[in-house]
Chain A
Amino acid sequence: MLTYTVRRILSLIPVLIGMTLIVFAIIHAIPGNPAQVILGQRATKETIAALTKQLGLEQPWYIQYFDYISALLHGDLGISLRTRGPINQEVWPYLAATMELTVVAIIIAVIIGVNAGIISAWFSKSWFDYAAMVFALVGVSMPIFWLGLMGQWVFSIELGWLPTTGRENPRDPVTSITNIYLLDTLLQGRFDQFKIVFQHLILPSAALATIPMAIIARMTRATMLEVMRSDYVRTARAKGLRMFWVVYKHSLKNAIIPVLTVIGLQTGLLLGGAILTETIFGWPGIGRYLYDAINFRDYPVIQSGILIIAAIFVLINLIVDLLYVLIDPRIKFTK
């Protein structure tokens, strides 16, 4: 297990290098003088020269890349052109907000999706199976912004149960420690705020969970159907094991690997920031942050955002790969 983990982590190095090269190239993909493009038509010569110097654009590209990498290794993501602040400090609250939303959404998607898939496979061709699969089909085809708006309309405006937008009560803001508000409120023992923060999370996370949930349910059902026809499932039944354990122990463990892959990919996608959902629900996440940066042509922020999202993707895939080995002992023996 340890050698596998080390080998798997080492194999990430070329991936990470490739990633930084691509992100680094973005600024050079701008036609003409990047400083000119960033600053716009009315920029003076001096400001352009200053920005060129700030971005290090007068150096040869390999020196620039080397500087970029060494800054990255020191945790320096550069300076935002818009706010003049260091990006590595600025980005965290947005990232934390997205992480909080994503984790809650994925938990909802996994719990409901996996179980719906299992029960559909267990009682295949039953009314539950048909209903769940119709819902799943609707779920993957539903535009998420429409679902978000409908949720707001029904639960916030008509019923008044949940807040429409934001993360917290603006009149009683959360004192942030980690910027993950569910955690922060608990750490401070503010259960009243915890409840409010949780209420703010329900609608956006439910909207965000819809598509992954549907995909996970369909995937689980398909692999479970296959596994439940296998010989070892018949053996488990022949032992006199309860159907519940046959399904949730013997079948699920065998069926979960392809599902895990899907969960990993979906988590990566959501962590990349769901711009539409974050916009509709006024959620100050990484998607919103990048969207604003793009509007302002804040290239260092765009670069950093892409890098962070890509790194998260790689990290999640690493975790998924390591989980494979924990689940299936045969994997580490095959090269």
Chain B
Amino acid sequence: MFFLQQCLIGLTNGALVALVALGYTMVYGIIGLINFAHGDLIMLGACLALTLVGALGIAAGGGAATWAGVAALVLLCGLFCGGLNVAVDRIVYKPLRNAPKLAPLVSAIGVSFIFMNAGLFWLGPADRSFPDLVPSTNLLAHDGLQFTLKDLLVVLVVVPLMVGLSLLVRTTRLGKAMRAVSQDPVAAALVGVDVDRVIAATFFIGGFLGGAASVIYGLYINTIGFQMGFQNGLYAFTAAVLGGIGSIPGAVLGGLVIGLVRALSSAYVGERWTGAIVFAILIVILVFRPEGLLGRRTREKV
């Protein structure tokens, strides 16, 4: 029972990690950039969410009104983060498309610092409490096993977004263009794909998922702070690589694995070793599967 409880916690946490990891993996898949600013983008999304909760007067326990409010938050923060991500791409990364590979990486780190400073002025230096809009009502009629409404919310938002994303990449025209650009931007341009627009769309989708993640993060973890982006980004980035960076199912699998490993190592080894165990397992997996869990030599990016 205890084991089951820890697995539930791990999978729920992992779903959240996966949602963030998708933003990394999509951008990486299409322009090969580790977008270090993604975690801090989510932090800004959470800032906006907190401000909106106050401005829109969303309160807990309002039934349908609360749920509508949460949906509005997801949408607005998604649009905000998506837009911001596109803007950053245009201003910062786009001029660096032909630059040495590591230049945009440093720019991304720079952007993450700028975001953090913005968050510092927005939130103040201390951690802030995010209102508990969704109650922690236990959905299982069992005292030793908890799966709350909050956990369900995470799953309810994360799963449709992931399915939608997979469908988008697999079936739509845009998705086809994204896959083309990720394999060979020059060739894609030659056959008439507007590469810049496809890249912008990728940044928008990645940002939108990040914005959604920021709302879920606020509702699920209930604490936000201007430094939250770092840890968020670290685990999500790790998840993306673990699954095989550039691969969408890989990012999801990587996120779930990381969530599970964290929960189980906290339960059976000790909370203090969690960070070490997650990364030690990562190293071992990569030593035996150098392209990640679902990555392939000829990577099917995005």
A, B in one complex? no
Q: What is A's interface to B at a CB cutoff of 8 Å?
A: none
Q: What is B's interface to A at a CB cutoff of 8 Å?
A: none
